[in-house]
Every structure is written in C-alpha cells, then in structure tokens.
Amino acid sequence: MTNSDGSIGLRPSSPQRSQELRSYFREAGFTSAGMRDRLGIWSPPVPRSPAYDRVRSSLTGSDPLALLGRLFLLHDTLSDDDLNGLPQGIRALLFEVGLLEDGTNGRRSPVLLAPFGSLYLVSDPLAVMREAEGTGDESSLVLGINPVGHSLLRFTRRDPVARTLDLGAGNGIQGLAASRHSGHVWLTDINERAAAHTTFNAWLNGIDNVSVLVGDTFLPVEGQTFDLIVCNPPFVLTPASDLVCYGNQVALDGFCRELVRQAPAFLTEDGCFQMVFEWVEVEGQPWEARISEWLAETACDAWIYRANTMRPEAYIDVRRDEMKLATPRAVPTVEEWAGYFREHGVRAVHGGLLLLRNPKAGGTARRLRMDELVAGIDDYAGAAISSTLRRADFLSEHRERLRDQRLELNPKARLRQEL
C-alpha cells in the first residue's frame, strides 16, 4: 500500500494489531448493529442536533460500548478512571496508533471513529471542523459518513473488476468498499490529510489491495485506465467556494461537468464512471437538455437518475441550515445566495446519480437513459443496474436473431388468482 504523509498523529501498525482492535470493537458491540440497537442511529450524530442529545443520554454508564461511543462518536474527554473500563491492552493499543491522546483534563481521541457496515472509518470530529472554520485550515478537513456518500455506495456496481479508482476519496469509504470486489483500488485526493486518513482506514480494516495518492482529480493517475471509477465530488452550489466541502472554484455545476468530460479517457473498454452530483436548471432550458449537453462531449453510454428537485429558495434554506450546524462562521446570506442564482438564471436545482459506460469496441449505438428516482435507493441498486446493462447488451447484440424467436412461458410459472 502506498502511504501518503499528512499532518495527523495516526500511526498504522501491524495487521495483527488492527485485527486486535476490530475484534475488541465487535466484542464490545461497537458495530453498525450496535449503534442502531442502542442509539437508534446509522451514522454519528451532528452536534447541536436532537439526535446528538439522544445519543448522549443513551451512553451513560461505564460499559465498553458507552465508553467507546463517548470517546469516538461524541468526542468526549475521559478520565483515567473512565478508561479503566477498557482493557489495559486496548488502552495501550489506542495510544500506540494515535486513536487516544492526552487532553487538557483527561484523555480524548483526535478523530471521529465510527462503524459503517463491516468497516471502521476515522475522520475529523465535527467539533474540530467547527473550530477550524475561519482559521484557514478548512481545506484540509476530512468529512465522515453522510447520506450522500451512502447513496453512492448503494448505486455503485459490485461486479468483480481488476482496477478501481476512488476519485476525491476523502476518508476512503467508497474505495475501501470497492476493495472487496476489485483486484486493486487507487484512491486519490488533493488533501494530504484525507490521504493520510484513508491510509489509516485501510490499515484499520485490514485492507492491503489499495494505493493512496495525493493530487488533484485525475492527475495522480494520468495515463492509466480503470474498470470502475467512483466519485463523490464537492458539488454543493454555493457562492462561498471557500467553505469546507461545500463548494469548488467553478461556477454552479461546472466542476461536475468537467469530471464527466474527463472521465471517459480513464475508463477501460466497458468500464464505468459513477458519481453523485447536483446540477442546475436555467431559464429557457429543460434540465434534460443541460445534461444532454454534458454527455454530448463523450461517446459513452449514460444513465441518469434524478433523485430530487428544489426551487432556489428551498435549496438555499436547506443548505444554509446544514452549514450552520457544521460551522460557527457566517455562511452566505439568503440575499447573497439568491443573487448568485439570479445572476446565473437558475430556476431549479436537481440532485441525482450518474453512470457513464465506455462502450465495447464494435458495440451498438450510444445509449442514453434518464429516469426519476421515485422511491429512494436501496442496497440492491448496484446489482439491479448491472443486470439492466447486461440485458440491454444482450438485446442489442442479438437483435436480428431475436426477431425470429417465439416467446414461451416458463414451465415453472404458476398462475394464482386471489379474490
């Protein structure tokens, strides 16, 4: 695994030591199932939210799960007496790898560590993110688990592949999940601290078929091709591009458009690029036309799922509320944001998921499909997408022969009538 230096105190150790940690976490109930059963949550709670208060009230006591939850989910400082509730060997191991450090009035963890599925992921605690806002350090922060990333996980195809790229990896969740069905995974991020967090997360989960690279978008893998590329970019449409993870330096949705333009050159034949993103609908142009313009710059098959639509005023309210939970600094005012949208003629903001597939040599004409995601996205979405693509390929490749075939009812089919 290629390590990347970052200014964090996390120190990966041996594979045996990571196995020891994971085994203890599971024994203590510090798992995704344990979080759901005891805390009623699937991801760490946001400070100042009702869920945060409920989680804190559920983590009273000195049992191992309560101590681990307070340490890693709530970012509490614990006394030595508190920590005596954890085995001495585990306490020593937490110090050894940088998951526990001396604080002002006790011991604390410098990271947020949370179970997600079968993975354990470290990122910056939200309290630390709030402290960093306005200090010039925002660009190096590393976000944790969130619903958008979860949607991309569900959307991603899980067919076995040789080479996968996680573009803008953050804490590495997309690439580490893909490591199970990939020969090797490359994870890139312009943020050195994100690369260091990803390196640690790979160690923590016993994953060694990954390489972590530092650089902007596709630059670290220039000249390479991949069977699968996954991307959760900074897509929020805000006039304040300097706010952590809420924007980029390109106006409106131009950054995502550029990713769509560049991605095909990095795909193998039949390779896929999958991304979660937002785009605008401007006056005088249907949303389908804007996306079609993006896709016209590629020769790929494309499948777009539109998941939600908001008018500018509703979008501004939602995003401002999210930002105010994450940062104490001033976020753009309603007037500033509305003026930004008026300047660009924005009449709606759409969110959704995109799949590009580099067609096989000698394949059929390029296919474009746009669907509405009316019932959310479930854990079987990736498999359903793969099945749909295989069926479409079969029908295209056997078009002439199928015209002469006669359909028959499956002999195992049963007709049932209910009154």
Is residue 45 one of the residues assigned to a domain?
yes
Is residue 397 one of the residues assigned to a domain?
no
Statement to judge: residues 237 and 99 lie in one domain: no
pLDDT at 314: 97
Is residue 231 one of the residues assigned to a domain?
yes
Statement to judge: residues 221 and 303 lie in one domain: yes
pLDDT at 223: 97
Statement to judge: residues 242 and 99 lie in one domain: no
Query: Residue-wise pLDDT tens for the chain (419 aa)?
Result: 433 444 479 999 999 999 999 999 999 999 999 989 988 888 888 777 788 888 998 998 899 999 999 999 999 999 999 999 999 999 999 999 999 999 888 999 999 999 999 999 999 987 555 554 444 455 678 888 888 999 999 999 999 999 999 999 999 999 999 999 999 999 999 999 999 999 999 999 999 999 999 999 999 999 999 999 999 998 989 887 655 555 567 889 999 999 999 999 999 999 999 999 999 999 999 999 999 999 998 989 999 999 999 999 999 999 888 777 665 556 789 999 999 999 999 999 999 999 999 988 766 667 889 999 887 788 888 888 998 888 888 877 777 777 777 878 888 888 888 77
Statement to judge: residues 177 and 284 lie in one domain: yes
Statement to judge: residues 239 and 305 lie in one domain: yes
- Of 67, 99, 117, which one is at a domain's C-terminal end? 117
Specify whether the CB–CB gap between 206 and 15 falls below 8 A.
Answer: yes
Q: Phi and psi at residue 7, in whole multiples of 5°?
A: -85, 65
| C-alpha–C-alpha distance, residues 79 and 69, integer Å | 15
Please give the residue range of the domain that contains residue 374: 147-392
pLDDT at 326: 60
| Interacting residues of 326 by C-beta distance below 8 A, sequence separation 6+ | 46, 126, 129, 130, 133, 244
pLDDT at 398: 74
Statement to judge: residues 231 and 354 lie in one domain: yes
Paired tokens of 160:
């076995």
Statement to judge: residues 387 and 325 lie in one domain: yes
Is residue 246 one of the residues assigned to a domain?
yes
| C-alpha–C-alpha distance, residues 123 and 194, integer Å | 8
Burial bucket for residue 145 (CB in 10 Å: 0-12, 13-18, 19+):
buried
Is residue 21 one of the residues assigned to a domain?
yes
Statement to judge: residues 214 and 363 lie in one domain: yes
| C-alpha–C-alpha distance, residues 134 and 330, integer Å | 9
Statement to judge: residues 210 and 354 lie in one domain: yes
pLDDT at 1: 41
pLDDT at 131: 52
Statement to judge: residues 207 and 346 lie in one domain: yes
Statement to judge: residues 248 and 210 lie in one domain: yes
pLDDT at 87: 97
Burial bucket for residue 412 (CB in 10 Å: 0-12, 13-18, 19+):
exposed
Statement to judge: residues 97 and 217 lie in one domain: no
HEC string for the chain = CCCCCCCCCCCCCCHHHHHHHHHHHHHHCCCHHHHHHHHCCCCCCCCCCHHHHHHHHHCCCCCHHHHHHHHHCCCCCECHHHHCCCCHHHHHHHHHCCCCEECCCCEECCCEEEEECCEEEEECCHHHHHHHCCCCCHHHCCCCCCHHHHHHHHHCCCCCEEEEEEECCCCCHHHHHHHHHEEEEEEEECCHHHHHHHHHHHHHCCCCCEEEEECCCCHHHCCCCEEEEEECCCCCCCCCCCCCCCCCCCCCCHHHHHHHHHHHHHEEEEEEEEEEEEEEEECCCCHHHHHHHHHHCCCCEEEEEEEEEECHHHHHHHHHHHHHHHCCCCCCCHHHHHHHHHHCCEEEEEEEEEEEECCCCCCCCCCEEEEECCCCCCCCHHHHHHHHHHHHHHHHHCHHHHCCCCCCCCCCCCCCCCC
pLDDT at 92: 97
Euclidean distance between the first and final Cα of the chain, in Å? 62
Is residue 185 one of the residues assigned to a domain?
yes
Which CATH number goes with the domain that contains 351? 3.40.50.150
Pairing of strands 301-310, 346-357: antiparallel
pLDDT at 280: 95
Is residue 70 one of the residues assigned to a domain?
yes
CA 69 from chain centre, in angstroms, equals 22
Is residue 137 one of the residues assigned to a domain?
no
Domain count, the chain: 2
pLDDT at 325: 63
Query: pLDDT tens across 162-203, in order?
Result: 999 999 999 999 999 999 999 999 999 999 999 999 999 999
